[in-house]
Amino acid sequence: MLHEKIANQRRDFLHKKARYLVDHYDAIGIEDISVKAMAKRKKGGKFSFGKSVADNGWNMFTNILEYKLAWQGKQLVKVDKWYPSSQLCHVCGFQNDATKDLSVREWDCPKCGSHHNRDKNAAINIREEARRISA
C-alpha cells in the first residue's frame, strides 16, 4: 500500500514537472541516455548513479514529456547518447577528454580558459545540439 502511494505520488510529480516544462518551452532537448547501458557500466564499477537514474523514472518522465509536447504540436529533441556533451567547451568547442572522469565537477578549458560547471556546460551543449538537430 505504501509502495503504491509512493508510486502514485511520484507519477503525479512527474506529470506536474512535465506540464510545467511543456507550458513554458516550445521544444525540449534531452540526452537520450540508455538506463540499461548505465546500469551495465555500474557493474564495471565506474557509474554510481545508474541505478538512481532508473529509480527516478527517467524513462517514464521522458515518455510523459514526449506525449504532452506532441499534444501541443511541440517537439522533444533527443540528443544522441554518444554526443560528448560533458567534454565539449560550450564557448570554443574544444573537446576535453579529462572530463571523462566523472569526479571532475568543474574545469577550465585548456584552449580558451573558460571556467565550467560540468552539468551547466553539458546542459548548454545539449541545448545547442538540440537546436542544431531540429533546425
C-alpha cell at 106: 568543474
Contact 31, 85 (CB under 8 A): yes
Closest approach, Cβ 131 to Zn ion, in A, equals 19
Contact 31, 79 (CB under 8 A): yes
Contact 83, 132 (CB under 8 A): no
How many residues lie near Zn ion (CB under 5 A)? 8
Closest approach, Cβ 121 to Zn ion, in A, equals 10
Q: Please report, as residue ranges, which positions from 87 to 126 form the binding site for Zn ion (by CB under 5 A).
A: 89, 91-92, 94, 109, 111-112, 114
Cβ distance to Zn ion smaller for residue 69 or 89: 89
C-alpha cell at 37: 547501458
Q: Which residue, chain included where needed, has cell 513554458?
A: 24
Candidates 19-27, 65-73, 81-89, 121-129; binding stretch for Zn ion (CB under 5 A):
81-89
Cβ distance to Zn ion smaller for residue 51 or 100: 100
Determine the Cα–Cα distance for residues 77 and 102; give it in Å rounded to an integer.
25
Cβ distance to Zn ion smaller for residue 83 or 94: 94
Closest approach, Cβ 87 to Zn ion, in A, equals 11
- Does 70 sit near Zn ion (CB under 5 A)? no
Closest approach, Cβ 20 to Zn ion, in A, equals 32
In the chain, where does DSSP find H-type helix? 2-24, 35-43, 50-55, 58-71, 118-134
Q: Which positions lie near Zn ion, rule CB under 5 A? A: 89, 91-92, 94, 109, 111-112, 114
